[in-house]
Amino acid sequence: MRSEKIVGMDVDNSTIVAVVQDYQGRNLIETVVEAEVVTATEFIKSLSWKIRLTSEEETQAKWLNDLNYPLVEEVIVSNPRKNKRTQTENGFTRRQPSCRLNDSRTGS
């Protein structure tokens, strides 16, 4: 059994939606934290597992990935423009972090 967990983070202007899943895809934690340096790093540090962090490739997420890089085992960045499942007839739609976690876990 893997002791690692996958953390999906979706950064907005003032908040970060974070979802922690195990490798079976079960949600262990879902929370919203402030989009501030101290809050974001304290959340990652509070987790007692080895962490793989995943987020979308966007300007707002870059600072978060750079900030947490030393605290996690791996940073996985997805490009929603290249993932057909994020596209709709009218363009792109935002997906919940748990959807991106499933993609990261399964390699989609």
**CA separation for the pair 9, 31 (Å, rounded):** 10
- pLDDT for position 101: 56
- pLDDT for position 30: 93
pLDDT over 80 at 24, yes or no: yes
- pLDDT for 44-81, tens place per residue? 999 989 999 988 877 778 888 899 999 999 998 887 66
Mean pLDDT over residues 90-96, rounded?
A: 44
Domain count along the chain: 1
- pLDDT for position 60: 77
Q: CATH number of the domain at 80, please.
A: 3.30.420.140
Write b or e for each residue in 89-102: b if 16 or more Cβ atoms lie within 10 A of its Cβ, otherwise e. Answer: eeeeeebebbbbbb
Structure confidence at residue 95 as a pLDDT band (50, 70, 90): very low
Is the overall model pTM greater than 0.75, yes or no? no
Locate tokens 């939606």: which residue? 17
Mean pLDDT over residues 93-101, rounded?
A: 50
Give the domain extent around 52. Answer: 4-106
